Structure 1
Amino acid sequence: MENELREYSVGELARTAGVSVRMLHHYDAIGLLKPAHVASNGYRIYGYAEALKLQEILFYRAAGMPLREIAEVLNEDQPLQRLLIHRQTLAKGLTDQAAMLATLDRTIAHLSGEAPMPIEDLYKPFSAQQQADYEDWLVETYGPEMAEAIEKARKHAEESPEGFSENRIKRLREIETALVASYEAGATPESVDLSAHQNWVSDMWGQPCDAQAYKKLSELYLAHPDFIARFETLSKGFSQWLSTAMTAWSERD
């Protein structure tokens, strides 16, 4: 609440946002970001709403959007709706880049005389170093609670007789093969039954994967290029489809 009531001079807002005062003056001049009010001494004063708007402008600028288009976007919809649309655009861009990287890696391997990776290799457990790297990334991205979840999953895997066994990998292969077949047959993400996949995740975690956790997992699948590249190897465009399907499944009535 304190932050929402705070006011910033043009210099303070510039320092906080990491932009120049000149830029803020320009945004004011073209009507893109007006101050909340102008003090009696002529200083521009910005509030919390203006700081949020500046953050949104910087999101769009980072994506390469011209100021004229940003002004048009800001006049449409509500801030939350605009940001959700922008997030979807960024997620799609990340998916496309990861797909291109996966294709590029396969091309480089071919030109280098290396044998292409068999599809079965997608289902081999991560190496110890890969696993450690992914866990570090998860904790850094999602915070301390993720570290607790990882520790619980690790303990379950160590205590489970099945562990990351061939039988468990085989079940995942069968589940994903069926999903890829549905995707390539033209099924919409909202029409598929993901109960088997959600149950497999619960089994791997050693605890229930409820709707909220399953939705978070769908976001994770589009948050790391390695996950995207893996699903794109199964079928081009499958990563986005699967994530959308998981979100729809978690939000079903």
Structure 2
Amino acid sequence: MNIKYRIHRVLSVEHNPFLLDHVIGGNSVLPMTCAAAWLANLCEQVSPGYAFFCMKDFRVTKGIIFDNTLADEYLLDIEHVESSDDTELALSAKVWSKNERGKPHYHYSTTVVLRKIIPASPYYKTFNLTEDQALAQYKPYQDGTLFHGTSFQGVKQILNMTPDKLTIRCVTPNLTRKQQGQFPVQTLNPYMSDVQFQAMVIWARYFHQAGSLPLFMAKGEQYRKAIPGQVVYVTMDVQASSDSKLVADMYVHDKDGFVYSQVFGAEVAISKRLNSLFQR
């Protein structure tokens, strides 16, 4: 019989100061990466001896907005899935809430894979750290491309950008424990992961003149953690794009191409209606 867990949590901006730096259209919004870290951390906590390695089929069904739609509490359901041996565990995880009529609203769902031993970092061969001087003055946090406040401003320079690829130089965010609130950095750092996903927002704005928000991630793997304040690089490889959607793979790596984390099949919705909401 599969082991099941249910955790109840009440959320507020007051208990999560970083949310003041993640505001869209006047309201704080929980970053997708914080929801992912929330589930990964809880799966670790109920699985002693195992550490987060991978997340599969992460889906945003209904994001959490801190307005009058905020639920009184959120429920996290975790269930062990069959594993091939004792070196790896797979757990299904989801976040949901109840509306005023008691009906469920599903917010996020995924499968979390934990391992006793994390594999060595792979090498990303096709990275390119060449600087395009035409992009040197591009300031995504100041020009409305990115809505993120100080806690999430890890993008320091756009090195190069084409219809097929984007490379940015970043510094891992360094939030105090108080700022992190109910979403502390453990194995997975949601604040650095958010910086990674900002690459997609930059690309969508540059080539489609439109804002974008995350919907889905086919797979994400972490091999090692970047230290707060450390310089890292994010490379994004475009897999498919249209006026309404971008699908890409992304790699956080060092200057030599060795990977910290990588994401495959990340998908964002693109819409010009988001442009005005991204203004700070």
TM-score where L is the length of structure 2? 0.19
The structure with the largest helix share of the pair is 1
Using CA pairs under 8 Å that are at least 6 residues apart, name the structure with larger relative contact order, 1 or 2.
2
TM-score where L is the length of structure 1? 0.20
The structure with the largest strand share of the pair is 2
| Structure of greater Rg | 1
